[in-house]
Structure 1
Amino acid sequence: MTIDWAHERVLIFAPHPDDETLGCGGLMSKAKAAGAEVYVQFITVGDTADLSPKGQSTVQERYGEIKEVADFFRWNDWQIAFPGDEFHLKLDRLARFELSNMIERHSPLSIAELEPTVVIAPHRTSYNQDHQATAEAVHTALRPSDNRLRHHPRLVLAYEEAADQWRYEAAASPNFLVELDEGHVDDKISAMRLYGTQIHEHPHTRSELTLRSLAALRGMQGGVAFAEGYHALRWLA
C-alpha cells in the first residue's frame, strides 16, 4: 500500500529538538516534496550538558538550530510547549493529565486544532524519560472514542531512534516502512548537520554513518535501497 503524501497533514511530536529529524527526517523530506503539510510540536528544550569542549549547549543555540531546520524542511509551523530547564529532561515529573491535554487540545498545534491525518510520536521503549512521557501522553490523547466527537487521525506511528535499540526490552522490528530515495536520506543528514550541538562523529547514535546505515538496514528489510522504520499504532484504511 502506498500513501499519497500530497493529501496528508502530518503532526510530529518531538520531546526535544532533533528527535523529529532522527526519527522522521526522511519521511518529512518525502512528504514535503509531495506537497504535504508538516507540523512539529516540540515538548521541551533547555540548556543541555554535552561532551563538547564547553560542556553544554544553551537554549539560545537550540532555538537557532530549530529555525534553521524548520526553514530547511519548510515546516508549516512548529512550537515548543514547555520550554526551559524546569521541564527539560524532567517531563516524567509533569502530570500526564497536563501533558496529554496540551497534546489533545491546549496548543496551537494540538490534535483538536490541526486535525492531522497522520500523527507520529516517539516509541515508549526509549531509555529517555522525556521520550517515554511524550509517548505515553500521545497514547492517552489518541485514546479510542466516537470520531464524530473527537478527531481521530487515520494513521498513528511511533518512530525509532538508533539510541533506543540497545535496551533488553526494546520493541520488535518496525512493522511499517516508509521507502526513501538517496535524496531523502541526504536531506535527513543535512538537517542533522544543522543541529550542530547534537550531531556527533562516529561511533555515536547521532552520527551520519549511523543514520545512513539504519536507513539502509530498514530499506533492505523492505526490499528497497533505503527506508525509515515505524511502529503502526493505528491505521484506518
Structure 2
Amino acid sequence: MITSGTERILIIAPHADDEILGCGGLIEKACRFNNHVKVIVVAVGDITHPHKGAVVTGHTRKKELQEALAYLGCTDFDVLYDDKDSLLDTVPKSEIIQKLDTILDGFRPTMVFIPLPSYHQDHIVLFEASFAALRPKPNQFIKLIAMYEYPLITWQYQKFWNTGELYLDITDTMQKKLNSFLKHKSQIRPKEHLISPENVVKWAEMRGMEVGMKYAEKFYILRSHM
C-alpha cells in the first residue's frame, strides 16, 4: 500500500496525539519508504486535563507533536488553531472546510486519512468538515480516503458497519509507534485507561489478531479507486 515512494499521504487529526494513536505505524512505514506524509492537527490550546490536574499549554502540545512526528521521520505538519482544543464546535464549520479545501488543493494528496467520529465534539466536527472537503470533484487525484480509529471509539454512538476494512501490518514498527506516542508526555494516562501506553499496544495486538498479524492498524474505507 505504501512501499512505492510516490504517495502523498495527508493525515487530518483533531488533536496532537490522535495522529499517532490512529496512524503511527502508517506514518513510520510511509516515511521509511520515502513517501511524503503531511499531518494536519486542527486544534491545540491551553487546557486542563483531569489526568494531569494542571493546565497543559498549546505550546507544549505542539512541541510534543513535533518530537513525536520527527521520531517517525515526518517533518511536514501544521496546526490550524492554537486556541481551540475541545472548542471546535464553536468554529463555523464552513471556515474549517475552507481551510481543508486549501490544504487539499495545495498538497494534492493521493491518500487521505481522517478521524472516525467518536463521542468527542472535536472529532465529530472534524469528521463532518473533512467529509465535506473531500466531496467528489472533477479531476479527482485522491485514490484512497479512509477513516482511522483510536481506542476511545469503544464509546461510539454511531457505528460504521457498511465500509470496507483495511488493515496495515505494523509488527515491524510497533515499538516505534509506542515510542512516538510516549513523546506526547502530557497525554500519558494510567495503565487502566483506554489510551494508556499499555492499552495502545493491546489495541494493535487485537487488530492484528483479527487478520493473523502480531500488530495492526485498522482503517475504514470511504472511497477508493485505482
- Cross-structure match for 1:113: 106
1:12-68, Cα deviation, whole Å (9 max, x unpaired):
001110010010001111111111111111111001211345422112211221221
Runs (4+) of structure 1 exceeding 6 A deviation are none
Looking at structure 2, the residues matched to 174 and 202 of structure 1 have their Cα atoms a distance apart, in angstroms, of 32
- Asked if 1:187 is matched to 2:170, the reply is no
Looking at structure 2, the residues matched to 195 and 3 of structure 1 have their Cα atoms a distance apart, in angstroms, of 25
**Superposed CA RMSD:** 1.7
Relative to structure 1, is the Cα distance of residues 5 and 226 closer, same or farther in structure 2, using a 3 angstrom cutoff?
Answer: farther
2:101 aligns with one of 83, 104, 129: 104
Counterpart residue identity of residue 175, structure 1: E
Is residue 66–residue 75 contact of structure 2 (8 Å, CA) maintained in 1?
no
Looking at structure 1, the residues matched to 182 and 210 of structure 2 have their Cα atoms a distance apart, in angstroms, of 27
- Cross-structure match for 2:49: 50
1:176 to partner: Cα distance: 1.0
> Equivalences for 1:56-71 in 2 at 5 Å?
56-71=55-70
- Asked if 1:137 is matched to 2:129, the reply is yes
Relative to structure 1, is the Cα distance of residues 174 and 23 closer, same or farther in structure 2, using a 3 angstrom cutoff?
Answer: farther
Looking at structure 2, the residues matched to 135 and 21 of structure 1 have their Cα atoms a distance apart, in angstroms, of 17
1:95-129, Cα deviation, whole Å (9 max, x unpaired):
22111110011xxxx110000111011012x1111
1:201 to partner: Cα distance: 2.2
- Asked if 1:231 is matched to 2:223, the reply is no
Identity rate of aligned residues, in percent? 30
- Cross-structure match for 2:205: 216
Is residue 142–residue 152 contact of structure 1 (8 Å, CA) maintained in 2?
no
Structure 2's unaligned 5+ residue stretches are none
Looking at structure 2, the residues matched to 211 and 171 of structure 1 have their Cα atoms a distance apart, in angstroms, of 21
Looking at structure 1, the residues matched to 74 and 65 of structure 2 have their Cα atoms a distance apart, in angstroms, of 11
Counterpart residue identity of residue 191, structure 1: S
- Cross-structure match for 1:88: 85
1:174 to partner: Cα distance: 7.1
Relative to structure 1, is the Cα distance of residues 5 and 128 closer, same or farther in structure 2, using a 3 angstrom cutoff?
Answer: farther
- Asked if 1:18 is matched to 2:26, the reply is no
1:200 to partner: Cα distance: 1.3
1:73 to partner: Cα distance: 1.7
Structure 1's unaligned 5+ residue stretches are none
